[in-house]
Structure 1
Amino acid sequence: MAATRQHLHHLWRRRGGSATTSAVVGLVFLVFSAVGLFVLTSRSPESALNSTESILVDLTLVNNAKEKGALCLDGTLPGYHFLKGFGSGADKWLIHLEGGGWCRNLELCSARKQTELGSSNHMEKQVPFIGILSNLPSQNPDFYNWNKVKVRYCDGASFSGDVETTEHKGTTLYFRGLRIWEAIMDDLLLKGLANAKKALLTGCSAGGLATYIHCDDFKALLPKTKTVKCMADGGFFLDVNDISGRRSMYDSYNEVVHLQCFFPEEIIKKIRTPFFILNPAYDAWQVQHVVTPDVSGPSTSWRSCRLDIKKCDSNQIEVLQGMRTALLDGIRGVTEKKDWGIFVDSCFIHCQSLKDYLWHSPNSPRINNKTIAEAVGDWYFDRSKVKEIDGQYPSNPSCYNLVFSQPYKL
């Protein structure tokens, strides 16, 4: 997709790579990743074998990123958190792409520069690795001892932008998400990713969408790796009408992508790499901002329903069942692909792989008695086919359903 310099905040252009990379997404969303209730300490990952504690992992900045033009919105260096693998996982890699919404105009992107989502100056110097990033066998039985990376998100466009700079009220903005992706991958290749025998690219929400976009590119980076697969968590955003009958999300974020919007249901038609779709049928973020956005003027009853699915009446549940149907229609084309996996539960939740109590615990959601971690592991290691699609709400008593005091913020 060619971008004009006069409309930097509207268009993104392609900068090499596969056709999937050039697919630009026109939805904005936020990720709220819960921090586990573990006592955190700095120690070696091997100690997880005899521990019940998760681990804090330091932030690494990409020192040569500036010469590659790979910069956060404010011009600071991009970064990631890297936990070295050990034992049988020493030559296996799991890369997680952080999410955190899009900034749809210069005003919002400028404000984002003052946060960890636009500047490495504001990023935490250490973060806990839990869920799919955990180094605890009890939490993460299949990937606990792999090399694991959390890639920080600071470009505001799911690692997809590639334009020069623009000015806004005397400050400079850098839209360099694609260059950030390339610079961090280059750095990781030098640290051992190039010699990986197995690799998994994953991400949550905005990072899940980035996983759809970059999956085939990731595979292309590792031509000698025996097994390369991808898994998107909560990134299958729907192009559906809201309760007022409008495509309000499409219209609202047409500022981000002026020429054309691509949704995951279109992107997945082009992905060649084995892929796993992890998505709740009643994604809480989408219920609040796709089905019942503020611009649709939700009634008082809808305001209660969008905060707590148990407070939805029968008519509202019927609307949400339509959302579930749209999701299942969107993935129908890949349900028969033998090397693809699916786990669609009936929970009112958003992003499940980075929460220890959802990924793999005695209280985790299950379909056919499998936790999400077990389902993903069975798919990745070809232990069994995984096409797990839950029944309609409220059929699954193992679901963990969020209750909000206020909706997710845009």
Structure 2
Amino acid sequence: MVKRWPFTGILSDKPEENPDFFNWNRVILRYCDGASFAGEGEDKAAGLQFRGQRIWLAGMEELMSKGMQKANQALLSGCSAGGLASILHCDEFRGLFPSSTKVKCLGDAGLFLDAINWYGTRTMRNIFDGTVSLQEVAKNLPSSCTNRLNATSCFFPENLIANIKTPLFLINSAYDSWQVKNSLIPTNDPNGCRHSHLKCSTSQIKFFQEFRNHMLTAINSFSTSKQNGWFINSCFTHCHTEHQDLWFAIDSPRIGNKRVAIAVGDWFFNRAESRNTDCPYPCDKTCRNMV
């Protein structure tokens, strides 16, 4: 029996769940390479091949042959590693279409930061360094970045987003729960903060506030382009677009009474400026469903 992907959130075909994109053609490109579709390496001795970039190209070639080349408008989106993939391949995706096609990109929970963790080391950099080296990702990273920084640094979105030419929207929690558990506090602490922010000490919450400041600084240069937008809230969560309760529901998180789905729709369809930055934790009471 083939398991069907749950089409919810931005993938839903119900207008009450997905008001702006419910009647679009929606396609999921299954993630399988471990490097956000950017790998192009080989270890013959170990019998390993990494072909993320080729998988991406093959997927796009098939979709274009099935009619995507006739699209009037297109949105490349993804969450987590898929959010990073959407950022990495954004301009490449734009290049598939004629100039008359409206093309934009959405990176959900893909703003992984090169942050110092609670113990004074850089967990995320160590993870990315291994990935970039093993899969030889450098050859597929933008030269606008690799001309000035090393390849590992150029796998971090904070060093890429300012130079992306295609309109881009970023969705992220300023206290991304995946980064809290896997990067900021990568091993268990005595009071259990890693698993629940309600158990964090005052000093740990202050540490998270510094992480939030890092994220807001990271989008400063990105914000100079009026074509870009964002939704940075203060809920301890990871990924919004594919979860109905976070995307568009009665109790979905809001910034200024605006839910994620409406913020994205305002940006894509140019209805209004969509630059949404939440106040610091714990002021946002719409995060009650994240407790």
Does residue 128 (structure 1) correspond to residue 6 (structure 2)? The answer is yes
Find the aligned partners of 1:126 and 1:228 in 2 and give their Cα distance.
Answer: 28
Q: 2:186 aligns with which of 293, 312, 329?
A: 293
Tell me the SS of whatever aligns to 1:323: helix
* Structure 1 residue aligned with 2:41: 163
Contact 1:347–1:401 under 8 Å retained in 2: no
- Deviation for aligned residue 1:401: 5.5
Pairing partner for 1:260 from 146, 151, 156: 151
1:330 alignment partner in structure 2: 218
> 2:186–2:194: 8 Å Cα contact kept in structure 1?
no
After TM superposition, list the pairs within 5 Å mapping 1:53-68 onto structure 2.
Answer: none
Structure 1: segments with no counterpart, 5+ residues: 1-122, 404-410
Quick one: which of 99, 107, 112 aligns to 1:237? 112
**Residue 153 (1) aligns with residue 31 (2):** yes
After TM superposition, give the deviation of residue 402 of structure 1 in Å.
4.2
Return the alpha-carbon distance in structure 1 between the equivalents of residues 167 and 81 of structure 2. 20
| Residue identity in the other structure for 1:210 | A
Q: Give the Cα separation in 2 of the matches to 1:145 and 1:287.
A: 36
Cα shift at 1:167: 4.7
Q: Which residue of 1 aligns with 2:142?
A: none
Aligned to 1:280: 173
CA deviations 1:52-109 (Å, max 9, x no partner) are: xxxxxxxxxxxxxxxxxxxxxxxxxxxxxxxxxxxxxxxxxxxxxxxxxxxxxxxxxx
Q: Please give the per-residue CA displacement for 1:275-298, whole angstroms capped at 9, x wherever unaligned.
A: 00100000001111111112xxx5
User: Amino acid of the residue matched to residue 217 of structure 1?
Assistant: E
1:335 positional shift: 2.0
Q: Percent identity?
A: 46
What residue is the counterpart of 1:364 in the other structure?
Answer: 252
Matched residue pairs, number?
273
1:162/1:177 contact within 8 Å kept: yes
Q: Report the TM-score when normalising by structure 2.
A: 0.89
Q: Establish whether residue 374 from structure 1 lines up as the match of residue 267 from structure 2.
A: no
Residues 400 and 236 of structure 1, relative CA distance in 2, 3 Å threshold: farther
Alignment-mate amino acid for residue 221 of structure 2: G
* Letter in structure 2 aligned against 1:273: T
Shift of 1:165: 6.1
Shift of 1:400: 4.8
Q: 1:152 & 1:124 partners in 2: Cα distance?
A: 14
Alignment of 1:312-351 (within 5 A): 312-351=200-239
Report the alpha carbon displacement of residue 357 of structure 1 after superposing the two structures with TM.
0.7
SS at match of 1:229: strand
Letter in 1 for 2:123: S
Q: Which amino acid aligns with 2:69?
A: A
2:81 to 194, 206, 219: 206
Task: Name the SS for the 2:69 alignment partner.
Answer: helix
Q: Distance in 2 between matches of 1:349 and 1:276?
A: 18
2:135 counterpart of 1:247? no
1:176 alignment counterpart: 51
Deviation at 1:245, TM superposition (A): 1.1
In 2, distance between residues paired with 1:149 and 1:360?
20
Stretches of structure 2 that go unaligned for 5 or more consecutive residues are: 134-149
Give, in whole Å, the separation in 2 of the partners of 1:139 and 1:239.
35
- Contact kept in structure 1, 2:94 and 2:103, CA below 8 Å: yes
Q: Which residue of 2 aligns with 1:386?
A: 274
Query: What letter is aligned with 1:343?
Result: F
Q: Please tell me the residue identity of whatever aligns with 1:243.
A: W
Q: 1:384 to 1:313 in 2, by over 3 A?
A: same
Alpha-carbon separation, structure 2, partners of 1:253 and 1:346: 25
Q: CA deviation at 1:334?
A: 1.8
Cα distance in 2 for residues equivalent to 1:190 and 1:350: 34
Q: CA RMSD in A?
A: 1.7
Q: Distance between the aligned counterparts of 2:33 and 2:238, measured in 1?
A: 22
| Structure with greater helix share of residues | 2
State the TM-score, normalizing by the size of structure 1: 0.64
Contact kept, 8 Å, 2:113 with 2:124, in 1: the verdict is no
Larger Rg: 1
Q: Give 3-state SS (helix, strand or coil) of 1:399's partner.
A: helix
1:310 to 198, 207, 216: 198
Matches within 5 A, 1:184-223: 184-223=59-98
Is the contact made by 2:251 and 2:289 (CA closer than 8 Å) also made in structure 1? no
Match of 1:101 in 2: none
2:136 aligned residue: none
Partner SS state of residue 398, structure 1: helix
Q: Say if 1:255 and 1:369 are closer, same or farther in 2 by CA, change over 3 A.
A: same
Shift of the alpha carbon at 1:125? 4.2
- Letter paired with 1:264: P
